[in-house]
Amino acid sequence: MAKIKLEYIWLDGYKPTQNLRSKTKVEEHENFQGTLEELKNWSFDGSSTRQASGGASDCVLKPVAIYPDPARINGYLVMNEVLNADGTPHESNARASINDDNNDFWFGFEQEYFIMDRKTQLPLGFPVGGYPGPQGMYYCSVGGKNTHGRDFVEQHADLCIDAGLNFEGINQEVASGQWEFQLFAKGAKIAGDEIWIARYLLDRLTEQYGYYIEYHPKPVKGDWNGSGMHANFSNTVLRTCGSKEIYMKVCEAFRPVTKEHIDIYGAYNDQRLTGLHETAAITDFSYGISDRGASIRIPILTVDSGWKGYLEDRRPASNGDPYKIASRIIQTVKPVCDNL
């Protein structure tokens, strides 16, 4: 019998932005295969995570995805939905609201973030009491003058790949100390699971470096880019229709529900969506081919492929919940496609 370490991971009930929580369950198994079927539900003290009262504090963890833990021997990362004691989805459980059981919707998320020095509480590359050089030379840079945190970012990429995530890339972003990674998945729930596991690995890695990750969409005020989590999405219709008219109908469907999307795209996003720094103003809605200043960008590759491909919603903030974002996008797009 071998002992294995199962890291049960879930989202707490804090508002306006939920946090990752986790705890380790050690079990003995004869021949563990790393499948969901081998896992059992577990419970936690919801009164300590703003998900229950002290008098009825038990919440239930339901495993929904499992990945090898590359930093542990015989370890696994287990993503969970939070349930009430009666087995119904907890109000903090946005994953349960996703209407994509057949994995028709594919999502690629571009997660931007700042690496912060825990001692100075400033982004890497920012001197105490001042500012580094202006934006321009940091984006996709190379060399010690403009590139900060590469060893950390490379290690995080290796951890994600070793965990089996469909990790697609990394690059330094426009501001000093700002980076991005990309993940893609066929299935909205799978995409959300993988973003949260990648964030977990990112946050856990900071413990070794004396860093922390800032997901706030505008942590540095002034003439500095904010951080987003652009959502690239498609379904069978968008991937195969070959119709500009259908793409226009899908884009227009977002216009009357602009507020509903912004409301769940991340807290403090008004500080980022100003109409500057490659964003559309939070009060506006627009779309355009290759337009990174629009709410929704129609990629040139989609057009060049004969209107077969995907769309990019550029509004989600870096601190947004991918489950909520995917759920809301599907809620907007699916009726249009179902009624064609």
Three-class SS state of 3: strand
Three-class SS state of 166: coil
> What phi and psi, each to the nearest 5 degrees, are found at residue 107?
-130, 140
Q: Give the pLDDT confidence score for residue 277 in this predicted structure.
A: 82
Q: Give the pLDDT confidence score for residue 202 in this predicted structure.
A: 98
- Considering the domain architecture, whether residues 309 and 172 belong to the same structural domain is answered as yes
- Considering the domain architecture, whether residues 331 and 191 belong to the same structural domain is answered as yes
Closest by CA position to 2, among listed 30, 37, 43: 30
Enumerate residues 6+ apart whose C-beta is below 8 A from 139: 171, 172, 173, 174
Q: Give the pLDDT confidence score for residue 127 in this predicted structure.
A: 95
Residues of the chain scoring pLDDT < 70? none
- Considering the domain architecture, whether residues 131 and 79 belong to the same structural domain is answered as no
Instruction: Kindly report, residue by residue over 273-321, the tens digit of the pLDDT.
Output: 998 888 999 999 999 999 999 999 999 999 999 999 999 999 999 999 9
Closest by CA position to 272, among listed 112, 162, 145: 112
> What phi and psi, each to the nearest 5 degrees, are found at residue 168?
-115, -10
- Considering the domain architecture, whether residues 43 and 171 belong to the same structural domain is answered as no
- Considering the domain architecture, whether residues 161 and 275 belong to the same structural domain is answered as yes
Three-class SS state of 299: coil
Q: Give the pLDDT confidence score for residue 55 in this predicted structure.
A: 86
- Considering the domain architecture, whether residues 125 and 225 belong to the same structural domain is answered as yes
Round to whole Å and give the CA distance between 71 and 5: 11
Instruction: Using alpha carbons, list the distances in angstroms from residue 33 to 22, 39, 67, 74, 77.
Output: 22, 10, 11, 11, 13
Q: What is the CATH number of the domain that holds 229?
A: 3.30.590.10
- Considering the domain architecture, whether residues 112 and 82 belong to the same structural domain is answered as no
- Considering the domain architecture, whether residues 218 and 307 belong to the same structural domain is answered as yes
Structure tokens at 306: 């004969």
Q: Is residue 8 part of a domain?
A: yes
Instruction: Kindly report, residue by residue over 245-262, the tens digit of the pLDDT.
Output: 999 999 999 999 999 999
Q: What is the pTM of this model?
A: 0.97
- Considering the domain architecture, whether residues 202 and 326 belong to the same structural domain is answered as yes
- Considering the domain architecture, whether residues 165 and 71 belong to the same structural domain is answered as no
> Of 42, 62, 93, which residue is a domain's last?
93
Structure tokens at 244: 């500009």
Q: Are 180 and 195 in contact (CB under 8 A)?
A: no
Q: Is residue 99 part of a domain?
A: no
- Considering the domain architecture, whether residues 143 and 289 belong to the same structural domain is answered as yes
Q: Give the pLDDT confidence score for residue 86 in this predicted structure.
A: 94
Structure tokens at 6: 């199962």
- Considering the domain architecture, whether residues 86 and 111 belong to the same structural domain is answered as no
Give kind and range of the element (H or E) at residue 61. strand 58-68
Q: Give the pLDDT confidence score for residue 27 in this predicted structure.
A: 95
Round to whole Å and give the CA distance between 142 and 145: 8
Domain, as residue range, for 244: 106-339
Total number of domains constituting the chain: 2
